Amino acid sequence: MAQVRTRFAPSPTGFMHLGGLRTALYCYLFTRKHDGKFILRIEDTDQERYVEGATDVIYDTLRGCGIHWDEGPDIGGPVAPYIQSERKDSYLPFAKQLIESGDAYYCFCTKEDLAHRREAVEKEGGTWKYDKHCLRLTSEEIQEKLDAGIPYVIRQNTPTTGDSSFDDLVYGHIAAPNDTLDDMVLIKADGMPTYNFANVVDDHTMGITHVIRGMEYLSSTPKYNLLYKALGFPIPEYIHLPTVMRDSKHKLSKRDGDAYYSDFIKKGYLTEALINYLALVGWNPGDEREFFTMEELIDAFSVEGISKSPAIFNTNKLTWFNAEYIRRMDPDDYFEMAKPWFNQALSGSIQDVRRLAELMQSRTEVFSGIPEMIAFFRERPEIDPELYVNKKQKSSAESTPEALALSVSLLEGVSDWTETNIHEALLSGIKEAGMKNGTVLWPLRIALTGQMSTPGGAIEIAYLLGREETFRRLMSAMDQLTA
């Protein structure tokens, strides 16, 4: 078997879409599993959609995700260049070869001509495809137009009878009647190849053995195969991937902020968690495992595990993955990643950020959720008196004033404001007073934070707030109760 050669061929049109990233991931996993070569090719033939800096975004995203290429624009390789616009001169000779064999032809129709004929067909209830108008031109007429410098495109001459078929390693045997295939443009009026033509030529000249791409290209593949055959190229193996969807009816969308890799990184998701989850969106390892390193993914990956059905990208499931990855982080790494989010919310309002990180790590699902969770440190929200009532903690509206007064008297005796000293003073004092811990500590937590759910309990919160702020909040809470 020849060495496996695959390619990931994104267009530099902006940020990396999650569907594209998953294609790159599967392509990489498949290639590494088979000890092959993974090629990065930049497909920039659509110059109108080109975005400055987008190629660097592609590089940074892939490398950041642990997806490394063996050949590409930045590192070179035996079939350079790896940017399509730099290969421009290589396509026209193949297009002219197709013209000579009758598998392509010059088309001089203007946009206005095409729009008029399309409108007429659709008015009659038909479905428009190019009507081979220019295929009927004589060689003399064609030469006359060429000599006159009339703009043209080169179109594929698809057969009108029979069918074209291929075998896909995921979807099986697929056939399309030739009379449904359009005569797609191969070379545009500006001399640039279309994506459809360039990818066929490039895949052949780069020795690509397996084409791995989204299932949206299934309908175009019969036309590609006609080109392969007409040019005498060997046809690669095809692996088409199920579409990544938000749910059964909706695709991921830029508007909803769930379409791009960068969307999730900005929200504070970990790349490792995102890649692990994305691998499982459309692929199953065949067992119950869910957590994988990249090396484990390479070892487990197989085409047989790829689903035919649309793959649902469940953000809630990703969040669960992310929370698990955060819990497993080295505490120092967590602290470094959390610091910017702490700084955003705290503005220096606590005395021990490292201790806060220890309390927060097990509670953090997504880093962007940190500011809201700890906003009470900077400013305690207005206290709802109903929060003091907690049957489980033996706390009631009637017991709260006494509990807060006891907290004040016990904490007044703590001169060295450490968590250990606060803990000792409160728990020993509560026991001596003959009260339940929850009866005192629950209303203390509410008085200090104004909310039921906090990182750590009353003792940790009091320590983090510091002595002065703790007493300020306690007195304010007691004043509110007597108002």
Residue 164's pLDDT is 93
Q: What is the pLDDT of residues 46-99, one digit of tens each?
A: 777 888 899 999 999 999 999 999 999 999 999 999 999 999 999 999 999 999
* The residue type at 425: A
pLDDT at 247: 87
Identify the CATH number of the domain defined by range 385-482: 1.10.10.350
Task: Pick left, alpha or beta for residue 259 (phi over 0 → left; psi -120 to 50 → alpha; otherwise beta).
Answer: alpha
> Can you tell me the distance from the alpha carbon of 419 to that of 476, in angstroms, rounded to the nearest whole number?
22
Mention the CATH class of domain 91-241: alpha beta
The answer to whether the 91-241 and 385-482 domains have the same CATH topology is no
CA atoms within 13 A on the CB side of 392: 3
| Strand ranges of the sheet holding 210-214, from the earlier edge strand across to the other edge | 172-177, 163-168, 237-241, 210-214
Candidate list 96, 229, 254, 266, residue with the active-site label = 254
3 state SS for 145-197: HHHCCCCCEEEECCCCCCEEEEEECCCEEEEEEHHHCCCCEEECCCCCECHHH
For the record, the structure tokens of 13 come out as 């049109």
**Arithmetic mean of pLDDT, 187-208:** 95
pLDDT at site 242: 95
Reported residue count of the chain is: 483
How is the chain split into domains, by residue range? 5-87+244-312, 91-241, 329-378, 385-482
> Which of the four pLDDT bands, split at 50, 70 and 90, describes residue 351?
confident
Burial of 136 (0-12, 13-18, 19+ CB in 10 A): exposed
- 116: tokens are 């008029």
417 or 258, higher pLDDT: 417
Q: Among 454, 424, 20, which Cα is nearest to 212's?
A: 20
Range 386-411 average pLDDT = 95
266 is known as an active-site residue: no
**Residues 367/335, Cβ–Cβ less than 8 Å:** no
Q: b/e string for 393-407 if b means 16 or more Cβ within 10 A?
A: bebeeebbeebbebb
Rounded CA-CA distance 294/279 in Å is 10
Task: Give yes or no for residue 45 having a pLDDT over 90.
Answer: no
Q: Report the topology of domain 5-87+244-312.
A: Rossmann fold (3.40.50)
State the chain's mean pLDDT as an integer. 94
The predicted structure's pLDDT at residue 480: 93
pLDDT band at 250 (very low <50, low <70, confident <90, very high): confident
Confidence class of residue 1 from pLDDT cuts 50, 70 and 90? low
Tell me the CA distances in angstroms from 225 to 92, 199, 481, one per residue in order.
Answer: 19, 12, 79
Q: Mean pLDDT lowest for which of 91-100, 101-110, 306-315, 345-354?
A: 345-354
- Alpha helices (H) in 245-392, listed in sequence order: 261-266, 271-279, 294-300, 315-327, 331-346, 353-360, 370-378
Distance CA 402, CA 266 (A): 46
Residue 257's pLDDT is: 67
Q: Which position has the token pair 């450490």?
A: 418
